[in-house]
Structures are given as C-alpha cells and as structure tokens.
Amino acid sequence: MTEATALLRALAQAEDELHKLSGRLVDIAGEEERLRARLAEADKSFAQRKEEHRKLRLAAQERTAEADATDAKIREYQRKLDHDIVPYKEMEFLREQIQIMRAKLDQLSEEALALMEAVEEDTKKLRENEASYREQRGHLEEELQRLQRRREEINREEESVEARRRELVAQLPTPLRQHYEKLRARIPNPVAYVNGQTCGGCHLRLAEATLLKLQEGREVVTCEHCARFLVLPWG
Ligand SMILES: [Zn+2]
C-alpha cells in the first residue's frame, strides 16, 4: 500500500465517522422535537385541568351568590310585611313569594354547599395533578438537557474528526489534494470504499481493470463513473 493510499483510507474513515456523527445529530434533533411536543402537550393538558377547576369554583361562587340574593329578597319582603302598611292583595302576593323563595333557597343552599365541597375535593386533586405535572415536566426538561449535552459532545467530536480530516488532506500530494478538494466541494465523501464490484459512492459497477488496479495496490485508483477515490474495505 502506498503512502497516498494509506492517507485515502484514513480519509475514508474520517468521512465515514463524520457521516455517522451527522446522522446522530439528526436523530437527536428528532428526539428533541418529540420531547418538546410532549412538553407542550403536558402544559396544555394541565392548563385545561386548571380551567376545569376555575369553572367549578366559579359555579360554586355563583350558586352561593344566588342563595345570598334570594335570602336578601326574602328578608326584604318579610320586612315589608312586618313594618309597612300594605294592601291585602300585595300582602298575599308577598307571602306567596316568600314561600316560593324559601323553597328555592333551600335548594340553592344545598347546591351551593355541594359545590363548595366539590371545590374543596377538587383543590386536593388539583394539587396532586400539579405535582405530577411538575414532575413530568422536570423529567422532560432533564431529558432535553441530556440531549443538549449529547449534542455538544457530538459537535466537539465532529470538530476533532474534521480537524483530522483536514490534516490528512493537507498531507496528500498536490494533484491528489486538488482532485480531492474539487470533489469535496460537491460531495461529502470523495473517498469511497469498493463494495463487492461496485463503487461505494455512486453504487455503479466498476470495470475489471479498475478492480485489478486496486488489488495490485500500486497506484491511486478513482471511480470511472463518479471520479471518487477508491479504497478497498480491507487491507
Ligand atoms: Zn463511483
């Protein structure tokens, strides 16, 4: 194996590593997206839960206010009956109204009480829901931070492989380096492994003569289709 071939093999390896690292970055981005969607979902459902509770509380308040208003009205009518001079017909009407309102007040008070109890019960549940929501959110945030650290690690690894790749390129004899740079401007992997009888870069079948030259290993060989440098996956 010539020195140039050894360099090209090392380059193929570096390109391969870079390819894998960028694939992992894509995976991480996908995972982050899924986690963010779960965070948004958790936020949304807890907001709905709080809204439910708010409505229940509001219903209890409204029922209580209604009971209070009915109670005030009964007192007002009663006061009229007790202290004012009212015509007989109106007196009858007021008495009848008081009776109706008392029945209504009983029902309203009962409902208001039941609602207040429900609010109290739901407040406890809401606290539990909030605790598990916070916990879930915490886990998801942690997971996102873990991915963030992983991404930074991969970025550093990428930088170091990229530096190695550039060093290797710098060591190539000038004509090879120029060819490499020309290819690299278009494609991420100017050096391809031979895969059976095909070029690992363009996947086209290689000529017998090309394969033979490769096996002899005396010179640098390029793919006749895509012009990539070719290296054997072994040796
Ligand atoms: Zn090719």
pLDDT given at position 95 = 95
pLDDT given at position 44 = 98
Q: How far is the CA of 192 from the centre of ligand 1 (A)?
A: 7
Q: How far is the CA of 162 from the centre of ligand 1 (A)?
A: 23
What domains lie within the chain, and their CATH numbers?
A: 14-171 (1.10.287.1700), 172-235 (no CATH)
Q: How far is the CA of 232 from the centre of ligand 1 (A)?
A: 13
pLDDT given at position 86 = 87
Radius of gyration of the chain (CA): 40
Q: How far is the CA of 211 from the centre of ligand 1 (A)?
A: 12
Question: Residue 52 corresponds to which amino acid?
Answer: E
Q: How far is the CA of 154 from the centre of ligand 1 (A)?
A: 29
Q: How far is the CA of 7 from the centre of ligand 1 (A)?
A: 19
Question: Residue 201 corresponds to which amino acid?
Answer: G
Q: How far is the CA of 190 from the centre of ligand 1 (A)?
A: 9
Q: How far is the CA of 193 from the centre of ligand 1 (A)?
A: 9
CA distance 59 to 66: 10
pLDDT given at position 218 = 87
Residue 158 · residue 169 · CB < 8 Å: no
Q: How far is the CA of 21 from the centre of ligand 1 (A)?
A: 23
pLDDT given at position 235 = 55
Q: How far is the CA of 157 from the centre of ligand 1 (A)?
A: 28
Phi and psi angles of residue 231, each rounded to the nearest 5 degrees, phi first:
-135, 155
Sheet strand arrangement including 229-231: 198-199, 191-195, 229-231, 221-222
Q: How far is the CA of 205 from the centre of ligand 1 (A)?
A: 8
Residue 118 · residue 60 · CB < 8 Å: yes
CA distance 49 to 152: 37
Q: How far is the CA of 204 from the centre of ligand 1 (A)?
A: 6
Residue 21 · residue 154 · CB < 8 Å: yes
Per-residue confidence in pLDDT tens, the chain, 235 aa? 578 999 999 999 999 999 999 999 999 999 999 999 999 999 999 999 999 999 999 999 999 999 999 999 999 999 999 998 889 999 999 999 999 999 999 999 999 999 999 999 999 999 999 999 999 999 999 999 999 999 999 999 999 999 999 999 999 999 999 999 999 999 999 999 999 999 999 999 999 999 999 999 889 999 999 999 999 987 5
pLDDT given at position 1 = 56
Which are the contacts of 209, defined by CB distance < 8 A and separation ≥ 6? none
Report the length, in residues, of the chain: 235
Residues 113-171: tens digit of each pLDDT:
999 999 999 999 999 999 999 999 999 999 999 999 999 999 999 999 999 999 999 99
Residue 179 · residue 230 · CB < 8 Å: no
Phi and psi angles of residue 192, each rounded to the nearest 5 degrees, phi first:
-115, 140
Query: Structure tokens of 223?
Result: 């793919």
